[in-house]
A and B are shown apart, each in its own frame.
Chain A
Amino acid sequence: MRHGRSNPQEERWRARLATRVAARTAGDLSRAVGVFGGYVPLELPLALGLEPLVLSFGGSPQAMQLGEKYVRADACPFCRSQVGVAEAAPWLGRVAFLAAFSACDQENRMLETCGRFLDLEIQVAGAPRTRSPNALARYREDLERLRCRLEERFEAALETARLAGAVAKMRRLRARLRARRADLEFADFAELVQGCLMLGVDPALEFLASLEPKAPPAARPLRLFLAGSCVARDDLVFARELAELGAEIVGDLTRLVGGLLACDVPEGTSTLAALAEAYFHQPDMGARPNDGYYAALAQAVEAVRVDGVLLRCLKFCDIHSGERRRVKEALEPLPVLFLDDEYDAAARPRRRTRLESFVEMIRCRKA
């Protein structure tokens, strides 16, 4: 069931996008590279003449239950549901290659499971865990290995001019997506970003160009910022519940929505080393020290002027849940709700109480 405000114009673009994504996944995927995690530069496969498809699915109780066939039931809901979708979506098995940087051990296992049971050609590396020069050097090496593997697999060669072109194209795509932010509520915007990044870059640019201009939604009384665990495609119920309560997420720094758009590579970047440098320094809660994440979070929150911050952590997601105290301190005096969340429908009433209480608390403060 959809919640919140929706109008025929929004339903039209959503239906068109869904149709295109369905057509894309039903079509030829022999040059499609599935991309998982925030450290695979989309520009790299693009520059090799390949199609990067950002894997952002999962997030439903049904997918989570399917995933339990392969991973243990107390694994994080995101990983469980990713495996579940992988099994339920036959197109994923037809993707030519899967490139991944995993942020935690559970993601590692999830990716290995997908590779093993879907018979996918896959390269998994660990996301950088520190900001040291050594970590950057290792990350460069990982990208170099990925380049070699993609070149060999697809008989392509990375050229500086084509890389610069891919950088420019991705900058254009990110800018066009960002430009739509004010026109859409968070859940719709997340659908747009994730849908476009499942189409491939050129079809996504074409789709965005075809969208009719739209008046921004009427402002809701409460403005919130979202941080924490990644938001998968079927995992937007909480955002629609917030909308029902009169609160709107006006900005986010999550891996599969705002985080994807925040990582802009400088114009003119034409070498893999420079590309690595740009992705290496993206705001990442998981990398130590993570002061850069806090600085980016504070800046992003400041930019949109909000009444409160929602720090949403999927159950068992240690990366974000371990730092709730620090997030609160970093954003003081803004109220921060730590929302321990999962996809299970049985958890919804409890989540609803937390969201409602947070909204009541902010309303009371504002009054």
Chain B
Amino acid sequence: MSLRLGIDVGSTTTKAVLLDANGAMLQSEVVATGPDGRAMARHLRDELLAAAGAAGAESGSLRVVATGYGRARVDFADRAVTEITCHARGVRFQHPDAAMVVDVGGQDSKVIRLDAAGRVEDFGMNDRCAAGTGSFLDVIARRFGLDVSELAALHALRPAPFEISSTCVVFAETEVVSLLAQGHPVNDVLAGVQRAVARRVVTLIKHVGLATPVYFSGGVAKNESVRREIEALLEVPFAAARHPQLSGALGAALLAGEGGASGGDAGAARWS
């Protein structure tokens, strides 16, 4: 059996998608990357192959593409492809009408504009500052003793009543402390934090040039309030991809079945 494995080693989580030769999904998994991305990638590969009943499929019949921040550390991959190409490929596969992909992960945010054939036409990435990324939310959540996944629910999806500095996570954290000291409700402060992330992402979108339909990918896409804030600022529908956290790994798995870093849609069955 011919298999394709895509592994996306991110700064926070490692994602893997296993497809059969027709592009049908056999297995997928998301785990925390931990301190050793290489070991985690190996562990995921073994786990997914075992779960698919193909534990011995490593040689010959298995093609592997690695992507993400730790892609170079996946020493068993046939090749490494950047997150830009993989997210574009993965989201376009899930949503054939996608003209733009916004991927906000733990450490990076990326805006990718696609041409009519689904190829990357232009892209932008955030600079080294953590503002506008999942790390920003993570730092603030920890300040409140929360898990980042709890943020969206806490402020009950209401619009932010004020803004928090979106330029620097360190300044933002100081500002949060100051706002709490002034007696502002926690939910309002959290809403402001999420508005700040949204504003930063929207700035990046403007640099690249908005194209619609635009889809939200990456771990932060699961945060409904950030998605709504971005949608409100963009004033266009901004839907999360069907499997936002797996888009990069899916794109990598699709590319594993192809020769180059092509962004076209041909040759793979629908995946849902």
Contact = CB atoms under 8 A, between A and B. Distances in A.
Interface of A: 315, 324-325, 335, 338, 340, 342, 346-347, 349-350, 353-354, 356-357, 360-361, 363-365, 367
Contacts of A367: 260, 262
A353 B85 contact: no
Contacts of A347: 128
B261 A363 contact: yes
A286 B108 CA distance: 31
Residue among A324, A338, A353, A364 having the largest count of chain B Cβ atoms under 10 Å: A364
B124 A364 contact: no
B82 interface: yes
Contact of A364 (B108, B120, B127): B120
A324 B83 CA distance: 23
Interface in B92-127: 108, 119-125, 127
A360 B125 contact: no
A353 B261 CA distance: 14
B84 interface: yes
B81 interface: yes
B263 interface: yes
B108 A357 contact: no
A367 B119 CA distance: 11
A259 to B, nearest CB: 25
A355 to B, nearest CB: 9
B: contact size bracket: 20 to 34
A357 B84 contact: yes
**9 tightest A-B CB contacts, nearest first:** A357-B84, A360-B261, A357-B82, A361-B120, A356-B82, A360-B85, A364-B119, A340-B127, A353-B82
B129 to A, nearest CB: 10
Contact of B122 (A335, A353, A363, A364): A335
A360 B260 CA distance: 9
17 contacts: A342-B128, A350-B108, A353-B82, A353-B108, A357-B82, A357-B84, A357-B120, A357-B123, A360-B81, A360-B82, A360-B84, A360-B261, A361-B84, A361-B121, A363-B260, A364-B260, A365-B119
Interface in B110-162: 119-125, 127-128
Given A350-B128, A360-B120, A367-B260, 20 more contacts: A315-B127, A338-B207, A340-B127, A346-B128, A349-B69, A353-B84, A353-B125, A356-B82, A357-B85, A357-B123, A360-B84, A360-B261, A361-B85, A361-B119, A361-B120, A361-B122, A364-B85, A364-B261, A364-B263, A365-B119
A356 B120 CA distance: 13
A145 B128 CA distance: 43
Interface string B232-272: 00000000000000000000000000001111000000000
A81 B122 CA distance: 32
A315 B129 CA distance: 12
A219 B69 CA distance: 30
Contacts of B128: 342, 346-347, 350
A293 to B, nearest CB: 21
A117 to B, nearest CB: 29
Contacts of A354: 125
Contacts of B123: 357, 361
Nearest to B69: A349
A10 B257 CA distance: 41
A342 B262 CA distance: 30
A338 B120 CA distance: 15
Given A360-B82, A360-B84, A361-B84, A350 B260 contact: no
A357 B124 CA distance: 10
A250 B76 CA distance: 35
Nearest to A315: B127
Contacts of B84: 353, 357, 360-361
A334 to B, nearest CB: 11
Residue among B121, B125, B263 having the largest count of chain A Cβ atoms under 10 Å: B125
